[in-house]
Structure 1
Amino acid sequence: MSHSILWSLVLALHLICIVVWIGGGAYAAIILRPSLNLLDTTQRNSVHLQTLNRFFKMLTHVVPTALITGWLMIIHEGGFAAAPWTTNVMQGLGLIMALLFVRVMMGPYQKVRRAIRPQPATFDSIRKQVLVIVALGVLTILAASMGHPFA
């Protein structure tokens, strides 16, 4: 396999992870959560829990893969010292997003998962924190766009 094809695949994997992470979060918080209000409480909680379970399981693979592929590309392009400020912004925001994901997954998500009758306030807390992650993801994408040289 050609060296450039390999790095193109690393970039593609990185971008797919970002799409799943940010797009999935936007879908869960902006589209799914409000739509669940059409269901009765038991159904709403069940669908919400099943959706969060699938999404968070996926993110346990996506988040580390996004970070690792990003770091591999930084190393490939000359290392951390040679990285432009936009790459450092992406990396910093990505790490904050990853920490927030771990915080949501280990905190309020575990609380609703273990509850006999999950409280709407806990689901709202998860939604708000996912929205923060999505907003940071949008800023990360803006940083990536600013760092892309156009000839």
Structure 2
Amino acid sequence: MPHSILWSLILALHIISIVVWVGGAAYATIILRPSLNLLDTTQRNSVHLQTLGRFFRMLMHIIPTVLITGWLMIIHEGGFANAPWTTNAMQLMGLIMAGLFVRLQMGPYQKVRRAIRPQPATFDSIRNQILVIMALGLLTILVASLGHPFL
């Protein structure tokens, strides 16, 4: 297939979006959540809600970008029928991650956002679900690496 700057830019947008998604999940679970324990409960809840709100609003743009750029590259490379198993695995894991995000955003996040006094258990549930998304993201990156050996 002919290579052009357009496809390089689509690939770059795809990779940057994945970095933001998986990197943001890692930050939220590994760095932010434990650091919030230094604050009193009211401050902790406020900072956590504001941070999750910003991250989730950003993901509302990032996730469609990842999926659309991925599908564009599949079509460019010959279509879904010609895609290697690694591409199909990436697509499946990306769709699962997107579904988990929607479930998280519509469920526990809305519950904690609307609560007068958010419960720590709900924040723990959010953290655990983000950890699952992050783990799937890392696995997806590993599968992507397997699908593109060095020449």
User: Does residue 118 of the first structure (1) align with residue 118 of the second (2)?
Assistant: yes
Shift of 1:107: 0.2
Q: Percent identity?
A: 82
Structure 2 residue matching 1:116: 3-state secondary structure: coil
Q: Distance in 1 between matches of 2:126 and 2:135?
A: 14
Q: Distance in 2 between matches of 1:42 and 1:150?
A: 51
- Per the alignment, residue 81 of structure 1 pairs with 81
Runs of 4+ with >6 A deviation: none
Q: Distance in 2 between matches of 1:127 and 1:63?
A: 19
User: Does residue 15 of the first structure (1) align with residue 15 of the second (2)?
Assistant: yes
User: Does residue 137 of the first structure (1) align with residue 137 of the second (2)?
Assistant: yes
- Per the alignment, residue 31 of structure 1 pairs with 31
Shift of 1:149: 2.8
Residue identity opposite 1:79 in structure 2: G
Q: Distance in 1 between matches of 2:24 and 2:109?
A: 16
Cα root mean square deviation, aligned: 1.0
TM-score when scaled to structure 1?
0.98
Q: Distance in 2 between matches of 1:59 and 1:93?
A: 16
Structure 2: gaps (5+ residues): none
Shift of 1:99: 0.1
Residue identity opposite 1:78 in structure 2: G
Give per-residue Cα distances to partners, 1:90-140, cap 9 Å, x unaligned: 000000000000000000000000000000000000000000000000000
Shift of 1:3: 5.7
Q: Distance in 2 between matches of 1:99 and 1:42?
A: 31
Residue identity opposite 1:149 in structure 2: P
Shift of 1:73: 0.3
Residues paired across the two proteins, number = 150
Structure 1: gaps (5+ residues): none
Give per-residue Cα distances to partners, 1:12-45, cap 9 Å, x unaligned: 0000110000000000011000000000000000
- Per the alignment, residue 56 of structure 1 pairs with 56
Q: Distance in 2 between matches of 1:150 and 1:43?
A: 49
